[in-house]
A and B are shown apart, each in its own frame.
Chain A
Amino acid sequence: MKTVTIKLKKVPGLYLECESVTPDKFAGKSLDAIAALPCSEGKSNYKLGDWFEISGSAGATAEETKIDVYGPGTSKCKYFGAWMSAGEVVINGTADMFTGSWMTGGKLHVKGDVRSFSGLQMKGGEMLIDGRAWNYLGAAYRGDWRGMQGGLIRVKGDAGSDLGTFMNGGTIIVEGNVDIHVGTHAEGGTIIVKGKAHRRVGGQMVKGEIYVFKGCDVMMPGFKKIEEREIEVDGEKHVFNVFIGDLGERHPKSKGEVVYGHLYTLKE
């Protein structure tokens, strides 16, 4: 696993779009070829070399390439690891919007926070966020009914609103608390929230599982409690209240009986 280290020279004035900071774009390139990759701030088109000090060497293929990102202004850089399919990206600090969006594989580790629209329409791969994540984590692009299809997103801190909108598959685990609208329009996949949800959990949900350990303030009227069951979730065994939901939404039939979304809250 070859490592390329890039360090931001100065904090961008407005913001920086670094779509080219992905193992796929770095693989098999020399240092000055990497430095020639494009990045832009509004109208002005720059080269990666203008903004980043680049060292180390890139692997032959994307799997063998690891990218370490340092620097004070990473919180103003967008599209880190977007459309990456393999390899590893480690961001030591906060990353701005669209981090790891349209990701199909590989590992993305963000040591700080991640702003909105990260992990958008993810198909595979793994994303680990040590800080907090903002809104639309693992959601779908505006207007698209095919949301996140696979992969794993793990957030150690809190997450914002609209978590996993239009989700079709994959798993999102949030250790902290979550804001409104969890798993809206979900059609599959699993969302595990170890903390507390504010309101509107599982609105318009068709299929899929949502675990909210500390429950939510106001339950959706469309959810009905059916039973209490012990389930093993993310390595821990707990007894959960099981709700089926959103009864206001249209639910398909598969093999004869109707498919519902499931909402689990801890039984204390």
Chain B
Amino acid sequence: MAEGEYSPLSKLFQKENFEDWSKPHIVGATSEYSSLLKLQAMKEGGLRKYGDGIIISVVTCTEIKQGVAIETGKTSQKYFDACSIIELHEDDFKALGINHNTNVRVTSATGSVILKAVTTTQSLYPGLGHVPMGPWANILVPSYTYSTGEPCFCGFDCLIEPAPQEKIEKAVKLMHEKCGLKYVGDPHYD
């Protein structure tokens, strides 16, 4: 995404639903502002509907499966299963109208990716989702660091839209496409 250009979602954050906040930074603008949107939406009766999707706040943390899969190998199937998921609360599943283990398109202010929506044993509250740390999560994470050097891994807002037909990309292929490099498989992992 070139300088000055926005992802579709962040246009939403900027203009329509709340006062015009001029962003401190153009590329990878944080959508932490948008927690304002969530605050505002919550005041209006709790549901954060937008089109056929909902807006929730997402945190990315480490998981035991993801940790083990790092040692197995970043191009292994175990890593693919461990990191390409998003955990949602039951009310969010109902709001989206989908049942467990279906693919959803998750869009944040700086990128969008297909993940599998699953339920979780570590209970969340409605309006909070969790994506294990990994290449898929970091497509979504905004890179604005408030001049502290630390990007915002926990607490950025995403639009979740059901996308049952679309397929989750493999990590290396996903990275190559997003970076505009030609993807040619490698004997080590294909």
Contacts and interface: CB of A to CB of B under 8 A. Distances in A.
* A–B direct contact (CB < 8 Å): yes
Interface of A: 116-117, 132, 134-136, 157-158, 160-162, 176-177, 179-180, 196, 198, 217
A8 to B, nearest CB: 19
B28 to A, nearest CB: 14
Nearest to A117: B147
Contacts of B147: 116-117, 134-136, 160-162
A116 B21 CA distance: 18
Given A217-B36, A217-B39, A135 B146 contact: yes
Contacts of A176: 22
Interface string B15-31: 00001011011000000
B150 to A, nearest CB: 13
Contacts of A136: 147
Which of B25, B36, B39, B146: most chain A CB closer than 10 A?
A: B146
B69 to A, nearest CB: 35
Contacts of A162: 146-147
Given A158-B24, A177-B21, A217-B39, 15 more contacts: A132-B22, A134-B24, A134-B25, A134-B147, A135-B146, A136-B147, A158-B22, A161-B146, A161-B147, A162-B146, A162-B147, A176-B22, A179-B24, A179-B146, A196-B19
Which secondary structure characterizes the binding site on chain B?
A: loop
A176 B146 CA distance: 18
19 contacts: A117-B147, A134-B24, A134-B25, A135-B146, A135-B147, A136-B147, A157-B22, A158-B22, A160-B24, A160-B146, A160-B147, A161-B24, A161-B147, A162-B146, A176-B22, A177-B22, A179-B24, A196-B19, A217-B36
A160 B24 CA distance: 6
Interface in B25-52: 25, 33, 36, 39
A132 B21 contact: no
A217 B35 CA distance: 11
Contacts of A180: 146
6 smallest A-B Cβ distances: which pairs?
Answer: A135-B147, A116-B147, A160-B24, A161-B146, A134-B24, A158-B22
B61 to A, nearest CB: 22
A217 B39 CA distance: 10
A180 B25 CA distance: 15
Contacts of A161: 24, 146-147
